[in-house]
A and B are shown apart, each in its own frame.
Chain A
Amino acid sequence: DAKTTQPNSMESNEEEPVHLPCNHSTISGTDYIHWYRQLPSQGPEYVIHGLTSNVNNRMASLAIAEDRKSSTLILHRATLRDAAVYYCILRDGFAGTYKYIFGTGTRLKVLA
């Protein structure tokens, strides 16, 4: 079973911020939260990951709820190139098994 829940799709206007939510109510204390995105006709690419504290990098910011049961990927200024499927994923399984359950993700549409 998927460990994360995301909206199927979202829309944003170009140059505006985008907040992509993810629920992960069954997260364990040592699970990292990862975000990947998949541009059309390409393999997924890493965006950001975090454990407890909010994280920033050149691509995005990750805001993690205090109880860690949800997180939000923030694109500060959406561009047309950010149109992709965004996946929020956790490490799945017990120590010694490292499945990544990608789910269906959120398809982000950026309007010019």
Chain B
Amino acid sequence: GAGVSQSPSNKVTEKGKDVELRCDPISGHTALYWYRQRLGQGLEFLIYFQGNSAPDKSGLPSDRFSAERTGESVSTLTIQRTQQEDSAVYLCASSLALAGGKNNEQFFGPGTRLTVL
């Protein structure tokens, strides 16, 4: 079956522009996660969704970052007024249930590489 997909695979933008990153999770997965990975570093947790709800937004780096999920499916991560420090690979993952217990294996997408010039 289809895995997690993300689009675009690469995005180059100018400082100050807004960008939207899309994630299509595996069908039926109720939980969805966004991470950021800067070059040579580990994964930085950003936000998770249970259904269409994001109970904890404290991981978002600033108020320029926002995320939404609709139809318990597609999710969009939006970065407004991009800055050079936003350059990173943005990874999306989904799981059958919320992580921590059983049925919680996260399946990752290939990521979107964002470059802010």
Which chain A residues have a beta carbon within 8 Å of chain B's beta carbons? 30-32, 34, 36, 42-46, 49, 85, 87, 91, 93, 96-105
Contacts and interface: CB of A to CB of B under 8 A. Distances in A.
A101 B108 CA distance: 15
B61 to A, nearest CB: 14
A96 B98 CA distance: 9
B: contact size bracket: 20 to 34
21 contacts: A30-B100, A34-B99, A43-B108, A43-B111, A44-B91, A44-B108, A45-B108, A46-B107, A49-B105, A85-B42, A91-B100, A93-B56, A96-B55, A97-B56, A99-B45, A100-B45, A100-B99, A101-B45, A102-B42, A104-B42, A105-B42
Nearest to A99: B45
B42 A99 contact: no
B6 to A, nearest CB: 9
Contacts of A93: 56
Nearest to B3: A43
Contacts of A96: 55
B35 A102 contact: yes
A44 B111 CA distance: 10
Q: Which 7 A-B pairs have the closest CB atoms?
A: A43-B108, A91-B100, A102-B43, A104-B42, A46-B105, A98-B98, A97-B56
